[in-house]
């Protein structure tokens, strides 16, 4: 009898527990998240923490009434200067607005890339925590009223506070380039740090050998601009090449860098001409002349390629006189 009573009690407890479980299960909220219905009106206002970007540009001329940035899809054959001209802005403005894609280097332009097109020359800036209207004006060297009066900035003349995270158009603003250019390398000071500059850095310094004539020959045959020509914002020529095509010394001198550059040039070679001039050749597939070699004008020094930039094979070629960059095109003659 005792065992029977224990069995009945156990069954009763199990039944009670089952009823409690079923009751609690019925009270649980539906785990499926609620979705917005079609009747909910969606806000068309762009959050202040994101750039105010309109749809992709459908017409090339600049619109005098446009006050907000738009985007442009790069096509085959486009150059940075051509795109800038289409929208009546400077190439520098286009570079500054697209640092995450171009890294301040027009040689990185690729078909299919989406670029931000500003409505006027200047800088598009995301406000930081310590920024003020006056500090931004001072940093970008503009009058504060230019920022305040730009309609798309939506600033209040009675309350000029700017909010961290919002994007502001700085009309007329300028900033320094973040692109680090290769410095001139003297033969007697050619032993640069390979960790900093790349494996092309020379392991030693060299006595100056043959000195240049300052009369320059073309580094390749069949000169043709493939990317950007020389300008105040582009330090050399981008010349069309075939991979493996021979690259020739533009003038006599000593090789002071030969190999990979950590500064974004790919395989690069530099010649110190011994008279204050330097020439630079980058995007190379392989090197022929090594550090310390004296080369004569027209000597093969490398083979052309597409290293250091993704836009295909071309030779980036510079001539420098001291700290000045010279336009190579009027200085060179066909080899």
The residues near 8 (Cβ < 8 Å, ≥ 6 apart) are none
- Summarised one tens digit per residue, pLDDT across range 195-222 is 999 999 999 999 988 999 999 999 998 8
**What's the mean pLDDT in 93-111?**
90
Burial class (CB in 10 A: 0-12, 13-18, 19+), 208: middle
Report residue 270 as tokens: 């530099």
The ranges assigned to domains in the chain are 70-171, 187-333
Class of the 70-171 domain? alpha beta
The string over 89-116, giving b where at least 16 C-beta atoms fall within 10 Å of a residue's C-beta and e elsewhere, is bbbbbbbbbbeeebebbbbbbeeebebb
- Summarised one tens digit per residue, pLDDT across range 17-71 is 544 444 444 443 333 332 222 222 222 222 333 354 544 444 444 556 788 899 9
Angle CA 125–127–130, to nearest 5: 135
Average pLDDT over the chain reads 82
pTM tops 0.85, yes or no:
no
Name the 3-class secondary structure at 287: strand
**What's the mean pLDDT in 97-126?**
92
- Asked if 239 and 303 touch (Cβ cutoff 8 Å), the reply is no
- Summarised one tens digit per residue, pLDDT across range 227-274 is 788 888 888 999 999 999 999 999 999 999 999 999 989 999 999 999
Q: What is the pLDDT of residue 333?
A: 66
Q: Do domains 70-171 and 187-333 have the same CATH topology?
A: no
187-333: which CATH architecture?
A: Distorted Sandwich (2.70)
């Amino acid at each position: 009898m005792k065992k029977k009573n224990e069995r009945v009690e156990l069954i009763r407890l199990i039944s009670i527990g089952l009823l409690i479980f079923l009751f609690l299960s019925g009270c649980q909220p539906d785990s499926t998240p609620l979705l917005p219905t079609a009747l909910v009106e969606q806000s068309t206002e762009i959050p202040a923490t994101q750039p105010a970007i309109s749809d992709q540009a459908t017409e090339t001329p600049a619109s005098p009434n446009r006050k907000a940035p738009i985007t442009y899809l790069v096509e085959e054959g486009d150059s940075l200067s051509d795109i800038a001209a289409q929208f009546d802005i400077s190439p520098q403005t286009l570079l500054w607005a697209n640092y995450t894609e171009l890294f301040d280097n027009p040689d990185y332009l690729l078909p299919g890339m989406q670029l931000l097109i500003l409505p006027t020359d200047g800088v598009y800036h995301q406000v930081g925590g310590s920024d003020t209207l006056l500090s931004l004006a001072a940093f970008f060297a503009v009058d504060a009223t230019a920022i305040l009066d730009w309609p798309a900035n939506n600033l209040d003349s009675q309350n000029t506070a700017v909010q961290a995270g919002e994007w502001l158009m700085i009309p007329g603003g300028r900033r320094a380039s973040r692109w680090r250019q290769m410095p001139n390398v003297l033969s007697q000071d050619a032993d640069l740090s390979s960790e900093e500059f790349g494996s092309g850095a020379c392991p030693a310094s060299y006595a100056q050998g043959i000195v240049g004539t300052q009369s320059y020959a073309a580094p390749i045959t069949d000169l043709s601009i493939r990317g950007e020509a020389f300008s105040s914002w582009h330090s050399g020529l981008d010349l069309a090449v075939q991979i493996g095509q021979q690259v020739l010394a533009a003038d006599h001198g000593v090789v002071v860098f030969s190999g990979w550059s950590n500064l974004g040039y790919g395989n690069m070679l530099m010649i110190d001409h011994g008279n204050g001039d330097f020439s630079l050749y980058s995007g190379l597939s392989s090197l022929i002349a090594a550090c310390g070699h004296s080369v004569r004008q027209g000597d093969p020094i490398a083979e052309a390629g597409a290293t250091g930039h993704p836009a295909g094979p071309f030779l980036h070629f510079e001539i420098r006189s001291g700290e000045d960059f010279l336009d190579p095109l009027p200085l060179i003659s066909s080899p």
